[in-house]
Chains A and B, each alone.
Chain A
C-alpha cells in the first residue's frame, strides 16, 4: 500500500501528528508553564508572596499542624467502604481514624509547605495492604497556620497536572492519552527526520520571505530539528516517569509475586519495619533527628537542607522517621535518606549511594522534573517547550496551507475543520490560561469554592475559543486565512495586559515594586512574561491583518508550488 519506506513514514508523521498534535500542544505549552509552577502559584495566591522557607521545626511547628489534620471526606467516602472489613464491626468515624503516617515536602522555591497524613483503617479487610485514608494540606511554615484549601494553586495544581493528565481524571484517561501522545512524539521525531531528503542542507534553512507554505515548512523543520534532543528527551522521560505505574505496571500484574518477594527481602536488608508491631511507643524529638541528618550530610560534604520528611507507623514501636535531603544542588529529586527509630532517635539506616540503573533513572526523570536550582536552565526549558509548541503549530498550519486550495476547489471542509481546531488549541489554549489568571484577580479572595470557579472558567474560555474559531472559519473554505487567528491574538494581548493591571490593582504589586522597591522575582517574572506574551500577540495580530489584506487585494494569487512532503 505504501510504495516506499519514506512514504510510509510521511503518512505516519502527517496523520498521527495531526490526530495527537492537539494533545502534544497542551503537553508542551502547559509543560513550559509548569517550569515556573510555583511562581505562578505566588502570583495567584498573593497571601503566599514571601520568601522560600526551609523545613520548619517539627516539634514546634509541624507536629501541631499534623495534629490538626483530618482524613479527607472525599477520600473517606470513596475508599473507606472498600478497605474496611464490615464483618469486624461498624466503620470507624472519619474524625476518629488514628494517624499512621505524616509527611512534609518542600523545595528551594516553596514559601508554603505541603504536608499530608495517612490515616489507618483500624479493621482492614486485607491487613497486608497500606490501608490509608489520606489528608493533604498547605501550611505557612513560619506559623504552622493552614492556607485556605479551596484556593487553587493555579501553577502546581492546574497547569502542572494539565501537562501530563489534561486534568482528565476519569479512569486515568488523561494520563493514557498523554502517554500515547508522548509515544507519537517519539515516532513523529524519527519519521520526521526520515522524511527529510536533504536533512543536513535544510538543517538551518529558514526562508521567511518565501511563500507561506515554504517558510512554514522551514520553521516546522527548524523548530523540530534545533530542539530535537530536547523534544526526544522530554517525551521519553515523561513516558518513563509514568511507565512503571501506568503504562507497563508489570510489578503489579504478572510479576507481582516476584515484586512482593523483593519487598520482603528489602525490608529484611534495610531493617525498616514493613508493618506495625502493635506495641504503643512515644515519639522522640524529630528536630534532633533532622539535626543529626544534616550533620551526617555535612560530613559527606553535601548541601544539607531537608527536602522530604516522612514518619511511618506513628505511635508504634516499629515507627521510624525518614529524612531525605533536598535536591537543590543535583539533578535527582530528593535522596541520601537517613532513617531513625521514632521512639529513640537512633539511626536505623543511612542509604548507600544508588546503583547504576536507578541512578540513571533518577538522573533522567530528575532532569525532566527539575527541582534543582539553576535559573538559566529553567528558562531554557521554557524556550524548549515553546519551540515544541511552535513546531506542532506550524505542522498544523502547513497541513492546512498545503490542502486548502485543493479542498476549496473540491468543496471539502477538511482544511477548515483542521484550521479551526488549530486556532482553538494554539491561541485558544493561551486565552484559557491567561483568562484564568485574570479571573483569579477578579474573584474576591474569600469566595468559597474560588478554585472551582477558576477551573470552570478556564474550560469555558477554551470552549468559547473553539466555537469562535469554527464560526469564523468560512474564509478557509475559500483558501483564505481564518480571521479568528488575528482576533484571538488580540484577545490574548488584552487579557495579558488586564492580568498585569489587575495584579497591580488588587495587590499593589506593580513591576516597580516587585523589581526595584521590594524585589520579588516570582511575581515580577509572571508579570513580565504576561507583558511579553501581550507584545508578541499584538505583533502577530498586526502581521496577520497585513497578510489578510494582501490576500484580499490579489484573490487569484498564483498557486503555490507543491512541496514534496507528506
Chain B
C-alpha cells in the first residue's frame, strides 16, 4: 500500500473511488439492468425472462465496475463514465419503454 495517510488529496481520491464503486456502480448497473430489460422486451422476449437475464448480467457488471473503480488510473474518468452511463441507460430504458407501450 502506498503511504497515502499524510496526503489529503490522495485520501480524497480513495473516498471518490469508494463512492464511485458503491453508489456509482449501483446506479450504473441499475441503469444497465433497466435498459437491457427494455431492449430485450423490445426484441420480443417475455418481460420476466428479459429481467432475469439482465439481473444476472447486472450483478457481474456491478462487480466489474466496482473493480474498475479501483483499478483505473483516473478516478475522474471513472466517475464520469459511471454517472454518465447511469443517466444514459436510465433515459434509454424510459424511451424504449415508451416506444414499446405506445
Say whether A244 contacts B1, CB under 8 Å.
no
Say whether A1 contacts B13, CB under 8 Å.
yes
A254 to B92, CA, bound (A): 11
A211 within 8 A of B: no
> Could you tell me how many residues of chain B have their Cβ less than 8 Å away from some Cβ of chain A?
41
For this complex, 20 residue pairs linking A to B, each with C-beta atoms less than 8 Å apart, are: A1-B4, A11-B70, A14-B1, A236-B59, A236-B60, A243-B55, A243-B58, A248-B30, A248-B55, A248-B58, A255-B93, A257-B101, A258-B37, A258-B38, A258-B41, A258-B97, A258-B100, A262-B46, A357-B50, A360-B56
Contacts A239-B59, A248-B29, A258-B41: A8 and B71 contacting too (C-beta < 8 A)?
Answer: yes
Say whether B37 contacts A255, CB under 8 Å.
yes
Contacts A240-B55, A255-B38, A358-B48: A3 and B2 contacting too (C-beta < 8 A)?
Answer: yes
A8 → chain B closest CB, angstroms: 5
A243 to B1, CA, bound (A): 34
Contact with A along B56-87 (1 / 0, CB 8 A): 10111011001100110000000000000000
Contacts A254-B94, A258-B47, A262-B47: A187 and B4 contacting too (C-beta < 8 A)?
Answer: no
Say whether B47 contacts A357, CB under 8 Å.
no
Say whether A261 contacts B30, CB under 8 Å.
no
B34 within 8 A of A: yes
A367 within 8 A of B: no
A11 to B71, CA, bound (A): 10
Partner of B47, one of A7, A186, A190, A259: A259
A183 → chain B closest CB, angstroms: 6
Q: Which positions in B face A, CB cutoff 8 Å? A: 1-2, 4, 10, 13-14, 22, 26, 29-30, 33-34, 37-38, 41, 45-53, 55-56, 58-60, 62-63, 66-67, 70-71, 90, 93-94, 97, 100-101
Partner of A251, one of B47, B62, B67: B47
Partner of B67, one of A2, A190, A255, A258: A190
Q: Is the interface of A mostly helix, strand, loop or mixed?
A: helix
B20 → chain A closest CB, angstroms: 12
B27 → chain A closest CB, angstroms: 11
A3 to B85, CA, bound (A): 27
A266 to B55, CA, bound (A): 21
For the complex of A and B, 7 pairs with smallest distance between CB atoms: A262-B47, A186-B63, A250-B34, A243-B55, A357-B49, A248-B33, A361-B52
Nearest A residue to B59 by beta-carbon distance? A239
Say whether B58 contacts A9, CB under 8 Å.
no
Nearest B residue to A232 by beta-carbon distance? B63
A503 within 8 A of B: no
Partner of B51, one of A1, A8, A244, A355: A244
Interface members, chain A 373-426 (any B CB < 8 Å): none
A180 within 8 A of B: yes
A164 → chain B closest CB, angstroms: 15
A12 within 8 A of B: yes
A130 to B45, CA, bound (A): 26
A261 to B47, CA, bound (A): 9
Say whether B2 contacts A255, CB under 8 Å.
no
Interface members, chain A 222-241 (any B CB < 8 Å): 236, 239-240
Which residues of the partner chain B approach A186 to less than 8 Å between Cβ atoms?
59, 63
